[in-house]
Structure 1
Amino acid sequence: MIRLSHVTHLFGDDIRQGLAAARQQAGRDRIRQTLDMTLALDDVSLDIPTGELFVVMGLSGSGKSTLIRLINGLIRPQIGRVDVDGTDVSGLSPRDLVRFRRNRIAMVFQSFGLFPHKTVGENAGFGLAIEGLGRAERDERARHWLTRVGLEAYVDAYPAELSGGMRQRVGLARALAVDAPILLMDEPFSALDPVTRNDLQGLVLELEAELQRTIVFVTHDFSEAERLAGRMAVLHEGRIAQTGTPAEIRTAPADAHVAAFVASAVA
């Protein structure tokens, strides 16, 4: 279980004053205009059960990336708390937080995040090297997952020799190789062409059915969310506008903002 409980987070210089304004429900626009601060998340509560493919959807600036970085402790909430399987992530010491990330969570980035000077195999095994696994074992596990994502022939290639879709497959193999029970995916396919994007969405669904890992997938595309999600949350200006299954959100959008997302999807 991933649980966010009444989480509020701001970016700016005078956090104390910004939090006071947020507690008074000043709203994102007023806080930006009067304090020159960004209210990234505003009293967000969310439960994601173990084994679910959960999608967080919203426009740029809605708070999606902040939310996903709270889950792995890259950002600590200024109000509220984040729990993963009963562990208060925001309360971990720096050393325990590093251990928690290595053992519990893997992440796939929009920008691929590959090392250009390392081979595909070395990139896929990088997390295992950080864990201290021996060369033979990490090469074997990296090769296994590269084969699973269709890149067994590219183990000795370099990222510059790959297409964007292939690079993202390497990033996915790297995340899977560490065997973390939670996978965070921050708009991983948004820079790819529609055909490649469709293929990788299918791969994620196959892997979820096979592995039953908890996946939190961030996107701004309702069509993508509708294809992938068991359940989803729509963020708008730092608040949750609606949660539910894609069918529930399509048939009964909570407000005009959610309805606009639904209308943007290709039927």
Structure 2
Amino acid sequence: MSSDIKISVRECFKIFGPNARSMMPLVRDGVSKSELLEKHGHVIGLHDINVDMRSGEITVIMGLSGSGKSTLIRHLNGLIVPTAGQILMDGRDITRLSGRALLEFRRSSVSMVFQNFALMPHLTVLENVGLAKKVCGQSKEAIQKDARRWIDRLGLSGFESRYPHQLSGGMQQRVGIARALTSDAGVLLMDEAFSALDPLTRSDMQDLLIELQRELFKTMVFITHDLEEALKIADHIVILKDGKIVQQGAPQSIILSPVDEYIERFVNDINRARVLRVESIMNRDTPAPMQSVDSIEGSETLEAAMVKAQGNPDRTFRVTNGDIVVGTLDMRDVIRAIVPRNLRGQRQSEDGRKVLSQSDTVVQSAAA
């Protein structure tokens, strides 16, 4: 296993039912989820899952209800044991852990942030944040010192003596994240952690998560059913359907190259201009234009490029990464990229100006 891979899920199957192992030959032979339930009374939770999660990255697992995403994340902390397959963390197969070894693994290697916050209602913010260290038997002084450090980092200073019911939803989730970070675990598991929050608070928490990940280099596994959230925070996305992986890869590649109709429907309604980045569609082979041509950073969104082009489909930009020129961007490629693949024949005008005109409001807003 590569040294930069923190978690590796290999040929993982999960079947729910009293005789799960005896169902494996049927599942391997291709019996459907509905047939296994109707004829044999067993449910396929996961079907041949293979995923590598790299150190210091955010892996987002997503899918509709019943797709298996929450089942998968519960395998990563040993709450569920697979019917077949391996879950390797730092090269160690955690499916073989039990008793004290499993308990120690959960205390020291992984932390989890829950959708419903899961704070202890009778404990203060300070006590909730320090709970992981208290369970490990550390001194009160050490617990409070570390807890206060994370309380300050998560913007909770002054609320140490408050109880969960005295906090907003966003602040409660900050407490949950602070508690997870206080454990010093290298892996942070987040099961739809922001879904109970209002849109503005949710966006703030997403920004905070990205900031923390860059600062702390934690390995994060994040469960969501919200594609725009996944595209904002993910380094790697895994999309599940009926317990199977339909597609996985970098967010930009999934938007630009959906493998089937299911994924196309998933990505069809997003604002592609706001989530696609210049570097994902730039031309790396074309020589860079003359120095007089304007430049744009590869990390900028296509929306930013549309604003910079001021509605002109004939513009070309140098694409840079810091001081280095890495490619060129033709605004006609932007036009093609922002239209879903299945709609391109219907919506593109002869020269592309009709599609680019959708950016008018963006340009006007930026100029205001």
Q: Give the TM-score, by structure 2 length.
A: 0.71
Q: Secondary structure at the match of 1:154?
A: coil
Structure 2 counterpart of 1:236, which letter?
K
Structure 1 equivalent of residue 95 of structure 2:
90
State the structure with bigger RCO (CA 8 A, min sep 6), 1 or 2: 1
How far is the alpha carbon of 1:21 from its aligned partner? 2.0
Contact 2:73 2:189 in 1 (8 A): yes
Structure 1 equivalent of residue 121 of structure 2:
116
* Equivalent of 1:57 in 58, 62, 70: 62
Contact 2:63 2:240 in 1 (8 A): yes
Structure 2 equivalent of residue 168 of structure 1:
173
Unmatched tracts of structure 1, length 5 or more: none
Q: Give, in whole Å, the separation in 2 of the partners of 1:202 and 1:213.
A: 15
Structure 2 equivalent of residue 78 of structure 1:
83
Unmatched tracts of structure 2, length 5 or more: 1-5, 273-368
**Percentage identity across paired residues of the two chains:** 44
Farther-moved stretch of structure 1 (92-101 vs 29-38): 29-38
Q: Secondary structure at the match of 2:268?
A: helix
Contact 1:222 1:264 in 2 (8 A): no
Per-residue CA deviations over 1:201-240 (Å, capped at 9, x if unaligned) read: 0000000010011001111110000000011111111011
Q: Give, in whole Å, the separation in 2 of the partners of 1:211 and 1:242.
A: 28
How far is the alpha carbon of 1:12 from its aligned partner? 2.1
Q: Give, in whole Å, the separation in 2 of the partners of 1:163 and 1:12.
A: 40
How far is the alpha carbon of 1:115 from its aligned partner? 0.5
- The count of residues paired between Structure 1 and Structure 2 equals 267
Q: Give, in whole Å, the separation in 1 of the partners of 2:61 and 2:232.
A: 13
Q: Secondary structure at the match of 1:253?
A: coil
**Superposed, which structure 2 residues align to 1:200-215 within 5 Å?**
200-215=205-220
Contact 1:121 1:143 in 2 (8 A): yes
* Equivalent of 1:247 in 241, 244, 252: 252
Per-residue CA deviations over 1:26-66 (Å, capped at 9, x if unaligned) read: 02121122223220100111111111111111111111111
Per-residue CA deviations over 1:95-145 (Å, capped at 9, x if unaligned) read: 101111111111101111100000111001100101111111111111111
Pairwise CA RMSD of aligned residues?
1.1
Structure whose alpha-carbon radius of gyration is higher: 2
Q: Give, in whole Å, the separation in 1 of the partners of 2:176 and 2:142.
A: 19
Structure 2 equivalent of residue 15 of structure 1:
20
Contact 1:234 1:240 in 2 (8 A): yes
* Equivalent of 1:195 in 200, 222, 226: 200
Structure 1 counterpart of 2:26, which letter?
A
Structure 2 counterpart of 1:150, which letter?
G
Contact 2:13 2:85 in 1 (8 A): yes
Distance verdict in 2 for CA 1:93–1:17, change over 3 Å: closer
Structure 1 equivalent of residue 189 of structure 2:
184
How far is the alpha carbon of 1:14 from its aligned partner? 2.8
Per-residue CA deviations over 1:126-169 (Å, capped at 9, x if unaligned) read: 00101111111111111111111111111100001111111111
Structure 2 equivalent of residue 46 of structure 1:
51
Farther-moved stretch of structure 1 (20-29 vs 201-210): 20-29
Per-residue CA deviations over 1:64-110 (Å, capped at 9, x if unaligned) read: 11111111111111111110001110011221011111111111011
How far is the alpha carbon of 1:16 from its aligned partner? 3.4
Structure 2 counterpart of 1:63, which letter?
G
Structure 2 counterpart of 1:24, which letter?
D
Contact 2:150 2:178 in 1 (8 A): yes
Structure 2 equivalent of residue 138 of structure 1:
143
Contact 1:52 1:213 in 2 (8 A): yes
Contact 2:21 2:83 in 1 (8 A): no
